[in-house]
Copies of this chain bind each other. A is one copy, B any other.
Amino acid sequence: MIRVLIADDHNVFVEGIESLITGAPDIKVTERCYTVQSVIERLGQAAVDVILLDISFPQVDDGLGLCEHITRSYPKTKVVALTMHDDASLIKRVVKKGAKGYLLKNTTKNELLQAIQTVYHEKQYFNDTIMHILLNEGPKTRKSTAGVGVKPNLTPRESEVLTLIAQGLTTQQMATQLFVSAKAVEFHRSSLLLKFGVPNTALLIKSAMEMHYID
């Protein structure tokens, strides 16, 4: 019997998934969690084989962090990411955090059950839709060279500057806030444009939002 934990802050989803799973002979939903905190608590108390994890939980960063934590602390427990987001960039990030499977929320019952059984048997599960998305987004990012659709790796400083740009600050204001010269800020902004492959800050924000760097 495969023990499944459902982690999603959307009530309807938890019910829906459980409803889809009900009837499968070898799978049982043993835990339902609506917050990151409760997931951590339950994992400390009850053994779980597979976690169906909504990445937006409630924010994408939370889900990614939780995914990383789970795969580190409980390597035997397999994480299947379950989201609405169908962008390659997010899929790659999720996989990097240790998820063994990735499903869109418009998945079918069969796919869901198959995914649970596949990851339970130490294999990865990515269906055709996911593979198609990944393949159509060009080569996987190795270093962080420019390229459309490739998720760049940002340095800490770049992340800071990106956040401040998203708050509407000018170069001068950022420089003041970060205690560096305007030229330093300009440099990081340029690096961001290069890494994201965009011509200006407007598209930088758009791209960063689509790739869930900011929100």
Listed in ascending order, the chain A residues whose CB lies under 8 Å from chain B are: 9-20, 34, 56, 82, 84, 105-109, 112, 165-168, 170, 198-206, 209, 214
Contacts and interface: CB of A to CB of B under 8 A. Distances in A.
Nearest to A201: B202
6 contacts: A10-B105, A12-B16, A12-B20, A14-B16, A201-B202, A206-B209
A172 to B, nearest CB: 13
Given A201-B201, A205-B206, A12 B107 contact: yes
Contact of A166 (B14, B165, B199, B206): B206
Nearest to A167: B203
Contacts of A201: 200-202
Contacts of A11: 105-109
A12 B105 contact: yes
Contact of A205 (B17, B167, B205): B205
Contacts of A202: 165-166, 168, 201-202, 204-205
A209 B205 CA distance: 10
A153 B17 CA distance: 39
Contact of A16 (B13, B167, B204): B13
Contacts of A205: 202-203, 205-206
B9 A168 contact: no
